[in-house]
Amino acid sequence: MRVGWLDTAKGLAIAGIVLIHATSWSPSPSPEATWLLQRFLASLPVFFLVSGIVSGRSLTDPAATVRTLAARVLPLCYLYTLWQPVVLGYRVLRDVTAGTSVDLVGELLRVAASPIRPNGEIWYLWALALHLVVIWATRRLPTAAVLIPTFVMCAALIGWGRTALGDDTWHVLGPGLQGLPLYLFFTVVGARAASPIVARVERTGPTTSVCALVLWAVLGELHARLGGVAQPAVGVVQTMVGTVAVLLAARTATRYAWATPISALGRWSVVPYLTHTAIIGVTLAAALWSGAMPLLVAHPTLTVAGLTILGTTFGLVAFVPLRNTPVAFAFRLPSRRRVQA
């Protein structure tokens, strides 16, 4: 049975992911968007946690077979591979729009190396596929033997990863190779503790949700203001509390009709996830060629807000009327290629 508030949580998470990329692509920095992201950023932990609950639970069964694993992993690999040309296209378009030289050979090498070093903002698909392999491979181990080391690795990377590895190494790794070990804990805990998580969240009332959101806000402000040795530790706690707060807020929001569009966004989250960066890139290119770019530069916060709304909704609005046509194969593995678990 589909759990409605998990769709709402995914909807909130995908909106946050689009906001991250809209902020990074904006032609001028938005202080307001930066302030928001520094204090309320849990989109990827939530995305991986919900993915673990939905996709990973069956892989924790000791009797799960290779076919069970393939049924979960192959659709992710299909989408990741299928959309690499689009990634190539919007990366080249970004260079053209920014007026920088296009390194076409370098970009083609990125595509060629994408099975090893994930390419583009769609790296989540690559990382999730590997997370599911880890969940299946460790299915016979005690839960504590899996959760403890993955949590330690997650906390270490969130708090001290960049400092320990150095800026140059961190940059070379890129978001995908950073995120692969960092977010493994969230996928694993979602898969291993799916039933308790769902049951506990569903027993929680609105008051607890509000308290969790307030605590998240306080921790975010502390993390932004603190320096020294305390800041990394606060960052770890902030991420964990934020992830819980989003789940609780999603459960509370699902009680109200206004959250229906957010739930729908989460139900079809693969569409905005795959399309939003290309939409942002094309929008900025159109602004440049139409002469509207100075207006976007002059109003960065409105630009980020507009790009976020457009990136979140446009692809989905265009897809819904076509979801029963061959266009659907751009967002899901054709049935004849699927492996039955």
pLDDT of 120 > 80? The answer is yes
- Considering the domain boundaries, does residue 100 fall inside one? yes
Could you report the per-residue pLDDT of 195-246, keeping only the tens digit for each? 999 999 999 999 999 999 999 999 999 998 887 788 999 999 999 999 999 9
Burial label for 53, CB within 10 Å (0-12, 13-18, 19+), is: buried
- Domain span at residue 16? 4-333
| Token duo for residue 251 | 């459960």
**Encoded amino acid at 256, one letter:** Y
- Considering the domain boundaries, does residue 340 fall inside one? no
Could you report the per-residue pLDDT of 21-76, keeping only the tens digit for each? 999 999 999 999 999 998 888 899 999 999 999 998 899 999 999 999 999 999 99
Could you report the per-residue pLDDT of 140-149, keeping only the tens digit for each? 999 999 999 9
- Considering the domain boundaries, does residue 338 fall inside one? no
Contact 52, 194 (CB under 8 A): yes
What's the pLDDT score for residue 229?
A: 81
Four-CA torsion 223, 227, 233, 236, nearest 10 degrees: 30
From the CB of residue 286, how many other CB atoms can be counted at a distance below 10 Å? 12
Could you report the per-residue pLDDT of 151-170, keeping only the tens digit for each? 999 999 999 999 999 999 99
Span 308-330, mean pLDDT?
93
- Considering the domain boundaries, does residue 150 fall inside one? yes
What's the pLDDT score for residue 341?
A: 62
4: nearest Cα among 245, 330, 259, 188: 259
- Considering the domain boundaries, does residue 104 fall inside one? yes
- Considering the domain boundaries, does residue 223 fall inside one? yes
- Considering the domain boundaries, does residue 339 fall inside one? no
The CA R_g of the chain, rounded to the nearest whole Å, is 20
Could you report the per-residue pLDDT of 264-318, keeping only the tens digit for each? 999 999 999 999 999 999 999 999 999 999 999 999 999 999 999 999 999 999 9
Burial label for 200, CB within 10 Å (0-12, 13-18, 19+), is: middle
Number of domains in the chain: 1
Model confidence, pTM: 0.94
- Considering the domain boundaries, does residue 62 fall inside one? yes
